Amino acid sequence: MKIINIDSYFKDIRGYGYEERLANKLGATLILATVRAEPDIIAGCGDCEVVLVEHADTSVNKDVINHLDACRLIVKYAVGVDNVDVSAATARGIVVCHTPNFCAEEVSDHAVALLLSLGRRVVQFNDYVRGGNWAELTIDPPLRRTRDRVLGLVGFGRIARLVARKMSGFGVKILAFDPFLDAQTMEAHGAKPVGIETLFAESDYISVHTPLTKSTYHLIGAKLLGRMKPTSFLINTSRGPVVDEAALCDALREKRIAGAALDVTEIEPLPSYSLLRSFNNVILTPHYAANSVESLVDLRYAGSAAIEAYCKGYWPEYVVNPQVQPKRALAPWKEFEAKADRLVRLNASGQLVDIV
95-141 pLDDT, tens digit per residue, is 999 998 899 999 999 999 999 999 999 999 999 999 999 988 889 99
Nearest C-alpha neighbor of 45 from the set 56, 57, 59:
59
pLDDT of residue 308: 98
List, in sequence order, every beta strand (DSSP E) within the chain: 2-5, 29-32, 50-53, 73-76, 95-97, 150-154, 173-177, 192-193, 205-208, 233-236, 259-262, 282-284
* Fold observed for domain 104-284: Rossmann fold (3.40.50)
Give the per-residue pLDDT at 57. 80
Q: Thinking of the domain 2-102+292-337, which architecture would CATH place it in?
A: 3-Layer(aba) Sandwich (3.40)
What's the mean pLDDT in 74-96? 94
Does the pLDDT at position 15 exceed 90? no
Portion of the chain with pLDDT greater than 90, in percent: 90
Residue 82's pLDDT is 87
Give the integer Cα–Cα distance in Å for 60 and 66.
10
Q: What one-letter code names the amino acid at 321? A: N
pTM score, two decimals? 0.90
Domain residue ranges in the chain: 2-102+292-337, 104-284
Q: How far is CA 314 from its chain centroid?
A: 27
- Residues with active-site annotation: 239, 268, 287
Name the amino acid, one letter, at 241: P
pLDDT digits (tens, 9 = 90+) for 248-307: 999 999 999 999 999 999 999 999 999 999 999 999 999 999 999 999 899 999 999 999
Burial class (CB in 10 A: 0-12, 13-18, 19+), 325: exposed
Q: 107 vs 67, 254, 348, CA distance in Å?
A: 35, 30, 25
